[in-house]
Chain A
Amino acid sequence: MNLGHEIAQRLRCSPETAAALMEEIVRDIRRKTAQGETAQLRHIGAFEARGAELVFEPDAGLAEIVNAPFAGLTAIPLADPAPIRRKTDEIPQGERPGPARGGLPSARRQTRARSRARAGWILGIVLAIVAAGAWLLLADRTRSPGAESERFFPSETSAPAPQEAPASSLQGAAPPSTALSPVETDQPASAANERIAVDTLADAAETADPLAAHPYADAPLRGAEPIDRALGGYTIVVASETNEQRAQGWAEGWRKQGFRTAVLPHAQDGVILYRVGVGQFALLEEAARVRDALMGNELPQGAWVLRI
């Protein structure tokens, strides 16, 4: 990823300008840390120098975003397994070898003690497995049942054009193995997006959470309102087609199920891809969380988050 080009594309300025400004930000961080101060990069984290090394402490929000798939999971205390006595441990007075206690020879008592310790270990391991199973069951309960995902991804859908990884994975191929699928960062060249001027970006920069006030914040996933591209945000792509009519058909199917939908055309390598998006979210983490919660049930396995 070329960061300079990416920033330039988002701010609609030249890559040289973006690169120079980014260089200035980096220089500022380096200068502050060299003076022993902590340099803060908003929404990313803090940098400080420890010895000759530059140490990074991520922002809490960023840590939450990357851990969205594991949200809500906490540590589970497990049963304490029976302690194992080492040969070097002091033997309690009552268990000293010598004349048989209760008539049992010393070797036999040791064997019994060893088998008791082994049983304790086995019990501990069984309890650990049961606790882990319970934890996994609780984690699975967050997903709601449903069976619509297969219907919208028939294996015979057309895929004649070279396409990006997420699109191809949606067109009948195996779902991606990673927990998260890629997020599209390209800005589609739509008339609506072109209207977003840099002045708007400047205003947004001054507010702490600029997207929180969006009108679709209350019902981002379901509703009669179609996705409004002019408002921006993020959507979950559930299908990609090279045929617009077919993409509209998919979108209609999702709309009938109560989802807010839109067909988002995107030109790539001379081919126009029609992406079917469901929901419109103000925040990336919100979209990722919904996608993770519904993927495999209401949303197909290959669903991925796209910046509108």
Chain B
Amino acid sequence: MVKEMVKDTPNMSRKPLQEQVEQALAEIVREALATRQTVQVPGLGVFCIERRPALRRPAKEGGAEFIPPRNEIRFTPRT
């Protein structure tokens, strides 16, 4: 099916076709997550960003430590 589609799309070279789609997909996901947008990949799942605020927690060596805030990438697989 894909080969037929490649025939219909003359401006795309055949071999790295899947690589091009993979790269475009990576670019879109990176750009969306960098701006804290949610991305849904059909058939795979949803990528989103969860912000973890700064916190104070006990340190392994004793005492406590202050952990800076961070963004975490969360993936929810399609069920």
What is A's interface to B at a CB cutoff of 8 Å? 1, 3-4, 6-7, 10-14, 16-27, 29-30, 41-45, 53-56, 58, 62-63, 65-70, 73-81, 128, 131-132, 135, 178-183, 185, 197-199, 201-202, 204-206, 284-285, 288, 305, 307
Contact = CB atoms under 8 A, between A and B. Distances in A.
Given A14-B5, A20-B5, A185-B31, 17 more contacts: A3-B28, A13-B12, A17-B2, A21-B17, A22-B25, A25-B18, A25-B25, A26-B41, A43-B27, A66-B73, A75-B65, A77-B66, A128-B66, A180-B34, A198-B12, A205-B19, A288-B34
- What is the interface residue range for chain B against chain A? 35 or more
A183 B25 contact: no
A75 B31 contact: no
B26 A185 contact: no
Judged by DSSP, the binding face of A is helix
Given A13-B9, A67-B71, A54 B77 contact: yes
Nearest to B78: A54
Interface class of chain B by DSSP = mixed
B64 A78 contact: yes
A3 B66 contact: no
Nearest to A135: B66
A185 B30 CA distance: 11
